[in-house]
Amino acid sequence: MNAAAPLAQPVRYVDALRLALEEALARDPRVFLYGQDIAAPFGGAFKVTKGLGERWPERVINAPISEDAITGVAIGAAIDGARPVIEFQFGDFASIGFNQLVNHAATTFWRTGRSCPLVARLPVGGTPGAGPFHCQMAEGWLAHHPGLIMVCPATVADAYHMLLDAIACDDPVVFCEHKNLYNHLKDETDPRTTARLPMGAAAVRRAGVDCTLVSYSAMLHECLAAAHQLEREHGIEVEVLDLRCVRPLDEEAILASVGRTGRLVVATEDWPFGSVAAEVIALVTSRAFHALDAPPLRLAALDVPIPSHPDLFAAQRPNAARIVEAVLETVAH
Amino acid sequence: MLPDVGTRVRDSLRSPGPWSVVPPAAGPRTTDPHQRLALLKWMIAARLIDERMAVLYRQGHIPGGSVFLAKGQEALSAALGMQLRQPAAGRAGDIFAPLIRDLAARLAFGEPVIDVVRTHLMRRTGPMRGRDGNIHRGDLAQGVLPMISHLGAMVAPVCGVLMARRLRGEPASQRTIGATSIGDGGMQTGALHEALNVAAVEKLPLVLVVADNQVSYSTFSDRTYACASLVDRAIGYGVRGYSIDGTDADVCLATLHEAVARARADEGPQMVVATLLRGAGHGEHDDASYVGSELKARFGDCLTLYERTLLAATTISEADTVAWRNEVTAEVNAAIQQALAEPQPDPAQEDWRALSSRDLATELMPRWAPASGAG
């Protein structure tokens, strides 16, 4: 049953997520999926659960448009021994499940000593034309609360391994999937054959000595493109650190990297105020101030709601060109 | 097709407005003397323990917060608790998510008095270990979900427990049900609406007990809802509705017995709306001076009425009630003495961790081996 059939290459981010859910459903009878439009034959707005409902109709369950109840159901099922994986159709709508996530799921272990092993899958991030209510990131307002783990996989291998880790984890995990990666990010390697990292570990995606460039989710790929350009055009060696898990932060990996480079740029498509990027900079300035050769720089989206028109959309968020400018400014300091 | 909601629902459609007392239901009344005695005893116990907690509050023994009394709601609450099955060896029990005026149901469902006291006094020995207080207490091993303060938020988790059990293939012969309470205030939350709808869509064995006690904190029902009776909503959700006089203990007991039995028989969600009056302030910090004498005159106190009924029927004697009160008083006083001698939480002993996971950055999450034959 679990012997993996060869995949049509290359593997997309969305395929990796589906493979992880398929493996979890096949191996663990406690696992069930609950969300809007996820059952057969539709398979979800982004097709992450395509084909799963046919095989496990009783465990891939459509829900009404009721994000509070979807989350509350997952909490009850989790504390009764199940492993629920809920899908918000868009991460923006997790705001309706906010209360159950931060006040209920996140407080259960602290209050009762019993863990609450649910996974909330959030399709997050911007796509051109989708506008202010289908493009948001969620880590700024969810990662604030103690009691939640929040992961933002940026690679095909991480999408697969981290989703299985999130399901295996005894704590509530908010799993942020970037919508722009679903079909566009591809990998020639079957993620099931790749090594996995600890779920909470940051990963150095490119080594360098001149500046640390911290990112996560889809912005990682803008950072890698910027690093390539900086090396080619300016001879600058950037170390690109992928946080992978934004709550808890892998503080030691961040501090170690800044210790090697002495400079820090944090790039995110989230808003700047009270953000994960702000937290990374606060960490470095409070614990490694002496290691810094230049002021740390936060490169975030403009502090306005996310615009619809593709030109406005593109202007509102960081990209590789703006990351190059930010690194040049930091290195020149 | 909508379920048959029964004549009592249709009768309620003719009731003139939210402040009116629905006429005594035409439905069944409990006549079994053992059941009636048990109900009265739980009501007396809840009333006395509540009053004792109020005294502790006024004496300054309750750290911060308040104490919430169920006065006037004990018949409804005890009638629910008496229907619930406690977990036993090799068998799961029912699930109960109580609200703030549910001491009687908690006691009838097996909550030890010492845990009531420990949680009010925020002792480390209590089920919440001082991390959460008085009415938020719960014990997952006993099937009592610890409420959060957000009204309506407990209904969906009860649904989740029931869905998990259905997925596990709980046999019909051992069917467990989920029960939870709400008031006329909490009935207006989005969370309640979403969750009751999910219960109906999934046809879950859920019993929702609605205490329409005329006032949410200080706001009266005419500013809370506009339908003739909250039971009118049952047909809208597609659940079975019951409208009862919450001050009539025999009716409460018979109705809750029927509702729980129907849920256990896989007849889907049941919603019992009981009309009564909150007999105290919202909490003991609140003197409820805004509740006028005209409203008070419309409602009797369920405990006073029931004692009178059972005395008149010579089911009990005055001496019986005095003896029961003395028994409860002795037990709660002993529990208070014990809890006061027990340790409070020690900040230096806390681990201050909100996650059960450790070392996420260095340790691989334990799980099954990677799929064989991959690639």
**Percent of chain B topping pLDDT 70:** 91
Task: Name all contacts of B306-313 with Cβ < 8 Å and 24+ positions apart.
Answer: B306/B39, B306/B40, B306/B43, B306/B75, B306/B249, B306/B250, B307/B40, B309/B249, B309/B250, B310/B36, B310/B37, B310/B40
On whether the CB atoms of residues A276 and A139 are closer than 8 A, the answer is yes
List the catalytic residues of A. Answer: 134
Cβ-based burial of B216 (10 A; exposed 0-12, middle 13-18, buried ≥19): buried
CB A64 within 8 A of CB B198: yes
CATH of A11-193, one of 3.30.43.10, 3.20.20.140, 3.40.50.970, 3.40.50.300: 3.40.50.970
Q: Residue B65: what pLDDT?
A: 80
Determine the 3-state secondary structure of A228 from DSSP. helix
Mean pLDDT by groups of 10 residues along chain B of 375 residues: 40 38 60 96 98 95 89 98 95 96 98 97 95 92 96 98 96 94 98 98 98 96 95 96 96 97 97 96 93 93 97 95 97 97 96 95 80 39
Q: Rounding to the nearest 10 degrees, give the CA dihedral for residues A33, B237, B177, B42.
A: 140
Q: ω into residue B343 within 30 of 0, thus cis?
A: no
Same fold, A11-193 and A203-332: yes
The two three-digit tokens of residue A31, written as one number: 């696992």
At B190 the pLDDT is 98
- Residue of B367, B368, B372 to mutate, testing the A interface (most A Cβ within 10 Å of its Cβ): B367
From CA A66, how far away is CA A50, in angstroms rounded? 21
Structural domain A203-332, CATH architecture: 3-Layer(aba) Sandwich (3.40)
> Which amino acid makes up residue B1?
M
Question: Which residues is B273 bridged to in the sheet?
Answer: B210, B243
- Distance CA(B243)–CA(B249), nearest Å, equals 14
Residue A160's closest chain B neighbor by CA? Answer: B370
Q: Which two tokens stand for residue B159?
A: 């649904």
Q: Which residues of A touch B95 (CB under 8 A)?
A: 76, 80
Chain B residues within an 8 Å CB radius of A67: 194
Which residues have CB under 8 Å from A83's CB, separation 6+?
A24, A28, A30, A31, A32, A117, A118, A119, A167
What is the per-residue pLDDT for A4?
A: 59
**List of chain B residues whose C-beta atoms are within 8 Å of the C-beta of residue A10:** none
pLDDT digits 0-9 by tens, B221-276: 999 999 999 999 999 999 999 999 999 999 999 999 999 999 999 999 999 999 99
Helix (H) or strand (E) holding A290: none
- Residues A137-142 have a mean pLDDT of 96
Q: Where are the domains of chain A?
A: 11-193, 203-332
CA atoms within 13 A on the CB side of A268: 29
The structural domains of chain B, ordered by start, are 6-349 (3.40.50.970)
> Is residue A95 less than 8 Å (CB to CB) from chain B?
no
DSSP symbol at B336: H
Query: Which pLDDT band holds residue A184 (cuts at 50, 70, 90)?
Result: very high
Q: What is the pLDDT of residue A137?
A: 97
pLDDT in tens, A12-58: 999 999 999 999 999 999 999 999 999 999 999 999 999 999 999 99
Bond preceding residue A191 cis, omega within 30 of 0:
no
DSSP B276: -
- What local confidence, expressed as pLDDT, does residue B129 receive? 95
Residue in chain A closest to B130 (alpha carbons) equals: A111
CA distance A321 to chain B (A): 31
Residue B226 has a CB neighbour count (10 Å cut-off) of: 9
Say how many CB pairs under 8 Å bridge A and B: 194
